[in-house]
């Protein structure tokens, strides 16, 4: 109940109402210009059952409770009258902590609100906090959309518009996935990606997890249903490709039109059927163009891959339209060469410790090769080539090329003299067929291993691995050492400084090399590699130990080992500098004397 004693005894205080630019205008009482703080009996205060905030962190409540025991409630809660009781509008967390602290009363401001305004005030007050559970935050922002647009909501909450749009999208998650967001198993970014799909498709995704959440598996499912429009084989602005769908740049299923959900300007299509239909129409248009302009359409298919399903689909479409399918093995293809630059050479040889002079030599050689390729491309028509289109059968992206069909080899001996990988099974002896079968199987295993490794690496990246609070294990140090050696130590430095790094690797598999290296591993090996890299990763030119952090830290670190040598070098420079500064001082003094003489 309200305390009935005088203001001094009760702590009743008059306060001027402050204007809150983020609060709803309709939610502010216009009657009073002065608000009063009352000490209310805790028994008369009750939480609002319709309060949008449902979760409260237990640990933070305990900390707040301890603070209230020592200092009291520093900021009054806000309540509204309901019969004899007072319903909390803002401050339920302070109320809960006060109950834990055993408080009998709590300071409060009593205000009048219209029913619709209470919820809005509560939502905005909660959303302005930084510890709101993401799915509750999303649902609350979705409620505000009935009255405000995303830009207005962002302004009221002090957040970016993109943040508001991401939370609006998160509100579209089905309950099964919201559970994983609340438990922390599912990241907000993955939740937003899943929420791009309609509820029925989300439900199918959820059921495919079989009741056990796997972020990496779910990410693969999302990736298989989304398409990076930057790699689309068609013009994203083309409204006529599929008139009913229109252009991709304005499509609501383009994630960039839903608030840059994947980054600034990132265009991702979330409607599989539409994207695939546009791809198919692009292929048909390409076939039509090849027939009209008499271009040789070449699907990028070798004999080895001709039985792959996506290759067969393209070949079937071409044959249906009366085009001959030429495999790339039977063709000479000239693509337009790309002129090399020093930057492209640096990128190509980034794992080699090349000097600027060596990089320039590589560039000169690359430019010579480019000029030869350019001349061959420019004179292709004069040498029996025809205009063609090279088609990538998975993406349907294409480029214009020059093509010439190789002469047929009728003689069986000529056929058998061709490289084994270019011959059909029927053209091979039984022994050669066995070799081809084993080669094909080895290639498939390599592809499987590539996929397996990529899946494992991506899974680890999505976990909290890098934040593990433990010293590096021996296996981690071994992996780090080999990574440093292979990716950062150039060939000449490997031979000069680390000649016995792996020992004799003759007739040894990679697994055996790693196992032996691990068995004989010493931490000194890692230290040696790191110290080698420290000497190589400093910056020269305009950078020195006085204006560059990398150089400064290196300069400090080596003092422990080479202080006397460094002191000698510093002394030499100091001596030279001192002489120079002395000469400059004398010159300045002479000029000052001349100036005085002229003034006198």
Q: Which of 479, 485, 481 is nearest to 457 (CA)?
A: 479
Report residue 198 as tokens: 């309609």
Write out the residue limits of the CATH 3.90.1530.30 domain(s) in the chain: 1-132
* β-pair partners for 109: 37, 78
What angle, rounded to 10 degrees, do the helices at 199-208 and 175-183 form? Answer: 60
pLDDT at position 127: 55
3-state secondary structure of 375: helix
Q: Quick one: fold of 1-132? A: 3.90.1530
3-state secondary structure of 404: strand
pLDDT at position 114: 59
Catalytic residue, from 2, 70, 92, 125: name it: 92
Per-residue pLDDT of 572-584, as tens digits, reads: 888 888 888 888 7
Q: Which of 86, 89, 139, 137 is nearest to 114 (CA)?
A: 89
What percentage of the chain exceeds 90 in pLDDT? 13
Q: What is the DSSP letter of 28?
A: S
**Higher local confidence (pLDDT), 463 or 235:** 235
Q: How confident is the model at residue 90 (pLDDT cuts 50, 70, 90)?
A: confident
Per-residue pLDDT of 334-347, as tens digits, reads: 999 999 999 998 88
- Pairing mode of beta strands 105-110, 77-82: parallel
Q: How confident is the model at residue 449 (pLDDT cuts 50, 70, 90)?
A: confident
Per-residue pLDDT of 22-79, as tens digits, reads: 333 333 333 443 467 788 888 888 887 766 566 666 777 888 888 888 878 877 887 8
**Higher local confidence (pLDDT), 535 or 287:** 287
pLDDT at position 402: 95
Please state the length of the chain. 600
Q: Chain-wide mean pLDDT for the chain?
A: 80
pTM beyond 0.75: the answer is no
Q: Is the pLDDT of residue 17 over 70?
A: no
Active site residue 92: yes
């Amino acid at each position: 109940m309200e305390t009935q004693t005088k203001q001094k005894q009760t702590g009743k205080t008059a306060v001027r109402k402050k204007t809150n630019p983020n609060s709803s205008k309709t939610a502010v009482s216009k009657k009073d210009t002065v608000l009063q703080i009352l000490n209310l009996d805790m028994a008369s205060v009750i939480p609002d059952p319709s309060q949008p905030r449902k979760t409260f962190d237990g640990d933070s409540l305990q900390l707040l409770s301890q603070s209230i025991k020592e200092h009291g409630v520093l900021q009054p809660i806000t309540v509204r009258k309901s019969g004899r009781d007072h319903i909390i509008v803002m401050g339920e967390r302070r109320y809960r902590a006060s109950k834990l602290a055993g408080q009998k009363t709590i300071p409060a401001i009593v205000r009048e609100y219209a029913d619709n305004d209470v919820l809005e005030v509560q939502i905005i007050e909660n959303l302005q906090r930084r510890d709101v559970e993401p799915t509750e935050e999303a649902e609350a922002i979705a409620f505000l959309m009935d009255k405000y647009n995303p830009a207005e909501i962002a302004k009221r909450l002090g957040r970016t518009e993109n943040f508001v749009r991401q939370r609006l999208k998160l509100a579209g998650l089905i309950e099964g996935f919201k559970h994983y967001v609340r438990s922390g198993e599912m990241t907000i970014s993955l939740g937003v990606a899943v929420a791009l799909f309609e509820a029925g498709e989300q439900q199918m995704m959820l059921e495919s997890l079989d009741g056990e959440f796997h972020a990496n598996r779910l990410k693969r499912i999302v990736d298989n249903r989304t398409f990076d429009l930057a790699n689309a084989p068609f013009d994203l602005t083309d409204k006529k490709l599929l008139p009913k769908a229109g252009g991709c740049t304005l499509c609501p299923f383009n994630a960039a039109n839903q608030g840059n959900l994947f980054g600034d300007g990132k265009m991702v299509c979330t409607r599989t059927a539409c994207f695939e239909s546009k791809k198919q129409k692009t292929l048909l248009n390409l076939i039509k163009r090849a027939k009209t302009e008499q271009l040789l359409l070449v699907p990028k298919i070798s004999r080895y891959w001709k039985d792959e399903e996506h290759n067969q689909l393209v070949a079937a479409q071409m044959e249906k339209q009366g085009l001959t399918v030429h495999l790339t093995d039977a063709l000479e293809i000239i693509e337009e060469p790309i002129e090399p630059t020093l930057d492209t050479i640096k990128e190509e040889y980034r794992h080699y410790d090349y000097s600027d002079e060596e990089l320039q030599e590589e560039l000169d050689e690359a430019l010579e090769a480019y000029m030869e390729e350019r001349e061959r491309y420019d004179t292709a028509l004069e040498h029996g080539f025809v205009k063609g289109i090279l088609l990538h059968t998975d993406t349907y992206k294409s480029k214009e090329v020059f093509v010439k069909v190789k002469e047929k080899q009728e003689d069986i001996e000529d056929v058998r003299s061709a490289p084994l990988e270019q011959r059909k099974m029927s053209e091979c002896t039984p022994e050669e067929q066995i070799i081809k079968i084993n080669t094909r199987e080895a290639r498939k295993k390599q592809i499987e291993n590539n996929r397996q490794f990529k899946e494992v690496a991506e899974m680890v990246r999505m976990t909290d691995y890098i934040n593990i609070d433990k010293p590096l294990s021996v296996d981690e140090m071994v992996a780090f050492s080999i990574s440093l050696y292979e990716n950062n130590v150039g060939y000449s430095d490997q031979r000069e400084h680390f000649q016995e790094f792996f020992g004799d690797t003759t007739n040894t598999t990679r697994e055996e090399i790693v196992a032996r290296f691990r068995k004989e591993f010493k931490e000194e090996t890692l230290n040696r590699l790191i110290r080698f890299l420290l000497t190589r990763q400093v910056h020269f030119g305009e950078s020195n130990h006085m204006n560059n952090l990398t150089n400064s830290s290196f300069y400090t670190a080596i003092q422990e080992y080479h202080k006397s040598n460094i002191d000698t070098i510093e002394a030499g420079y100091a001596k030279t500098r001192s002489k120079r500064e002395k000469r400059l001082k004398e010159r300045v003094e002479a000029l000052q004397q001349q100036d005085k003489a002229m003034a006198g």
